[in-house]
Structure 1
Amino acid sequence: MGEERATVLQSESLLVREGAGENSSSVTTTLVLSTFVAASISFGVGYIAGYTSPTQSVIMEDLGLSIAEFSLFGSLLNLGSILGALVSGKTVDLLGRKGTMWVLYIFYIVGWLAIAFAKVPWLLDVGRLLLGFSNGIAGYLLPVYLAEITPKNLRGRFTAGVQMMAILGLSTMYIVGPFINWRILALIGIIPSLVQLPLLIYIPESPRWLVNVGREEEFETVLRSLRGKKANVFEEAASIKDYTDSLKRLSGGGMLDLFQPKYYHSLIIGIGLKVLQHSGGSNAYTYYSGVIFTSAGLSKYVGLSTLAVIQMITAIVGASLIDKFGRRALLLVSSAGLCFGSFLTGISFLLQGHHLWSEEARILALISIWVYMGSYQAGMEGIPWVIVAEVNLLHFLTSSPFTCPSYVVPT
């Protein structure tokens, strides 16, 4: 067993390097189209996350919801994400990456339709739960699919682009949300899914999944379409097959093997980062920033619009600096910004509660949310996912041990 595990680890190392053949790969139409489909899912994830922020007051008024009922509606996104994360690994392996995308789009469409036509609170909640379930699966599916279809020399840029689409979806909701009816916003959320459904016919399945299920002839065709007709794919193909064969020789174990002493360090880093990622209140800022602006005596429209711009700028800056300064440095700066932003938010409301410096306190509230959300998008939003992928062992990835903690804490 020890020798077999050593073989798997060597295969993983080979997959990470993936040979010179892959390094010479070019950007193909198939690769761009596949990444675009993944990016559309990412856009939807961000759009869903920002939905409650500009719509809280109007939904509560139209359906007669109390604060507690709307809070339940908001939290069901995280509950659904937990459920989705728990089944994500097995679902993606059983249905395939492409097959899972078909299921996700159906859930997204049904979830948004339930919210758009809700006349009673329970239907609103069902829609939110379905969207959360889809997000939980997407949180695992997207990084796996991108890692399996992109060559090493292009992987960073393509992955960063897909992550930026989630921020774009969130920012889009913040900008247009305050000016559009909440039911229309829900119907708009269906558009990306409707556009992408026909495109799913033309994108390929993951090459690694095809090898895993024994469809090797299709695997070679797909790999060549992703890398280009002139690319040398033989070394990459051999490394993928070698890894898959080594993995199949392992018996039993599974997720329980993670709790061996040699994996403790990776577990602490992976689970710890995912727990801390949302334990500082990022979901509260994301879901309810519109209410925070209003409570501080600020215009919700101005606050959300400027916040959208700040998020986009800081996300771009963070993506450009991560490889230059490293994950740890950027994560430390981001964490410091989160602490400072949260502190300033508390100070601003403390001043207003004592009727001190009312005008200055409102401005401080605006700046504090900029600082918090800007810091979050610059580092804490994406870096934990990158680090988890880098410390996690590929042959345990289907157990999805790192996808749930970040949803559990804020719920």
Structure 2
Amino acid sequence: MWFADIFCIMGWLLIAFAKDYWWLDFGRLATGFAVGLISYVAAVYISEIAPKNIRGGFTSASSWMMCCGFSLIYFIGTVVSWRTSAIIGAVPCVLQAIGLFFVPESPRWLEYTKTFQQFPKATILELFQRRYAHSLIVGVGLMVLTQFSGITAISSFMSSILESADFSTTFGSRAIAILQVVDSHLSIPVTAVSVVLIDKSGRRPLLIVSAAGMGLSSLLIGFSFLLQDMNRLKEVTPIVVLIGLLTYLETYSMGMAGIPWLIMAEIYPINIKGVAGSVVTLSNWFFSWVVTYTFNYMFDWSSAGTFFFYSIISGATVLFTAKLVPETKGRKLEDIQASMTHFLH
């Protein structure tokens, strides 16, 4: 986490004091590296220090805090310059770097460190052994399906999607920016509900409801664009697209936003947790880039077809969760990992 904070601070300062686009590129690269690292490490740390009966709520609370952070910086970004926003972004990183001096190492990690020091360091090739196949499929599968459900593309291109639906023509382009701020605030109570429910209803039900909601929302958006292409109900379709987008983002916040990271932190034995986490995190951010990069090409090809594709992937996520993802609510980490690998440490 210290390592991530250093890169994050460096990245934000490069952006804040950028003299040309190279500074911006290296700044974004540094912050991206830091986010990729800390997104897994923080989830693992929280899962290792929290009691089993509230582990899900504690880990999901980090997603809720991210929603609060997104909402706050989105609002701040409407009233200050991007350079000032970058400086503000560096402040929490500095505070965390200082705060880590007072945070103990994970007791679970300390407990097993001496045990595993006598064994060779785990490699990526060891991860592909038969006994780890189930846990690897679950971890990578959830991340890949989440990205191919379109979340990164929809979040990044929400303004373009609304403009293509003639929303700006109907209500004015300034309304789009306001709606994006409103949506970031709406995610806060939805994520808070999932924090409360996750250790009562379990991980799997929330994942299934979340993925199903995303799929139905994508289907609604796809039909709206299809009607628009057919010159039908053009006065109504912008509103339907807006409703679909808001519903999609809120149902995503309910489960798919944070639970895959929680499950990933729970299912891997400590001897391969570092390697497995690296592979799964890499798959998440790599396919996030793929989906974001290809969105404009897909959307130009067929706006309706793009969302129908996202809807199909969300439906596949429901089936994947029902068939392969274990319920980890209220179970010890050792029991979860033993049941998936049939290998007790």
Q: Kindly state the Cα deviation for residue 377 of structure 1 after the two structures are TM-superposed.
A: 0.8
Q: Kindly state the Cα deviation for residue 252 of structure 1 after the two structures are TM-superposed.
A: 5.8
Q: Does 1:263 pair with 2:263? A: no
For residues 251 and 191 of structure 1, the distance between their equivalents in structure 2, rounded to whole angstroms, comes to 39
What's 1:407 paired with? 285
Specify which of 379, 389, 399 is matched with residue 255 of structure 2: 379
8 A Cα contact 1:291 1:300, kept in partner: no
What's 1:192 paired with? 92
8 A Cα contact 1:293 1:303, kept in partner: no
Instruction: Specify whether residues 291 and 182 from structure 1 end up closer, same or farther in structure 2 by C-alpha distance, changes over 3 A only.
Output: farther
Q: Does 1:314 pair with 2:190? A: yes
Alpha-carbon RMSD = 2.5
TM-score norm. by structure 1 comes to 0.62
What's 1:67 paired with? none
Instruction: Specify whether residues 379 and 187 from structure 1 end up closer, same or farther in structure 2 by C-alpha distance, changes over 3 A only.
Output: same
What's 1:389 paired with? 265
Q: Which deviations, in whole Å up to 9, do the C-alpha atoms of 1:218-277 show, x marking residues without a partner?
A: xxxxxxxxxxxxxxxxxxxxxx2xx34432333465433322222222221121111112
Q: Kindly state the Cα deviation for residue 382 of structure 1 after the two structures are TM-superposed.
A: 1.1
For residues 317 and 129 of structure 1, the distance between their equivalents in structure 2, rounded to whole angstroms, comes to 34
For residues 139 and 217 of structure 2, the distance between their equivalents in structure 1, rounded to whole angstroms, comes to 25
1:189-338 map, 5 Å: 189-208=89-108, 211=110, 240=111, 243-251=112-120, 254-296=123-165, 297-298=167-168, 299-338=175-214
Q: Kindly state the Cα deviation for residue 128 of structure 1 after the two structures are TM-superposed.
A: 1.0
Q: Does 1:144 pair with 2:44? A: yes
Counterpart residue type for residue 198 of structure 1: I
Instruction: Specify whether residues 387 and 199 from structure 1 end up closer, same or farther in structure 2 by C-alpha distance, changes over 3 A only.
Output: closer
Deviates more, 1:166-175 or 1:344-353: 344-353
What's 1:398 paired with? 274
For residues 96 and 102 of structure 2, the distance between their equivalents in structure 1, rounded to whole angstroms, comes to 10
Instruction: Specify whether residues 193 and 390 from structure 1 end up closer, same or farther in structure 2 by C-alpha distance, changes over 3 A only.
Output: closer
What's 2:334 paired with? none
8 A Cα contact 1:314 1:377, kept in partner: yes
Q: Does 1:130 pair with 2:33? A: no
What's 1:343 paired with? 219
Counterpart residue type for residue 373 of structure 1: L
TM-score norm. by structure 2 comes to 0.72
1:67-216 map, 5 Å: 100-101=1-2, 103-152=3-52, 155-208=55-108, 211=110
Instruction: Specify whether residues 244 and 196 from structure 1 end up closer, same or farther in structure 2 by C-alpha distance, changes over 3 A only.
Output: closer
Instruction: Specify whether residues 107 and 244 from structure 1 end up closer, same or farther in structure 2 by C-alpha distance, changes over 3 A only.
Output: closer
For residues 102 and 202 of structure 2, the distance between their equivalents in structure 1, rounded to whole angstroms, comes to 37
What's 2:233 paired with? 357
Q: Describe the SS at the equivalent of 2:271.
A: helix
Q: Which protein is bigger by CA-based radius of gyration? A: 1
Q: Name stretches of at least 5 consecutive residues in structure 2 with no aligned partner.
A: 169-174, 290-345
Counterpart residue type for residue 158 of structure 2: S
Q: Kindly state the Cα deviation for residue 177 of structure 1 after the two structures are TM-superposed.
A: 2.7
Instruction: Specify whether residues 290 and 176 from structure 1 end up closer, same or farther in structure 2 by C-alpha distance, changes over 3 A only.
Output: farther
Instruction: Specify whether residues 199 and 330 from structure 1 end up closer, same or farther in structure 2 by C-alpha distance, changes over 3 A only.
Output: closer
8 A Cα contact 1:338 1:376, kept in partner: yes
Q: Kindly state the Cα deviation for residue 110 of structure 1 after the two structures are TM-superposed.
A: 2.0
For residues 112 and 155 of structure 1, the distance between their equivalents in structure 2, rounded to whole angstroms, comes to 32
Instruction: Specify whether residues 138 and 158 from structure 1 end up closer, same or farther in structure 2 by C-alpha distance, changes over 3 A only.
Output: same
For residues 207 and 323 of structure 1, the distance between their equivalents in structure 2, rounded to whole angstroms, comes to 22
What's 1:369 paired with? 245
Instruction: Specify whether residues 110 and 245 from structure 1 end up closer, same or farther in structure 2 by C-alpha distance, changes over 3 A only.
Output: closer
8 A Cα contact 2:55 2:199, kept in partner: no
For residues 226 and 25 of structure 2, the distance between their equivalents in structure 1, rounded to whole angstroms, comes to 33
Counterpart residue type for residue 164 of structure 1: W
For residues 349 and 405 of structure 1, the distance between their equivalents in structure 2, rounded to whole angstroms, comes to 30
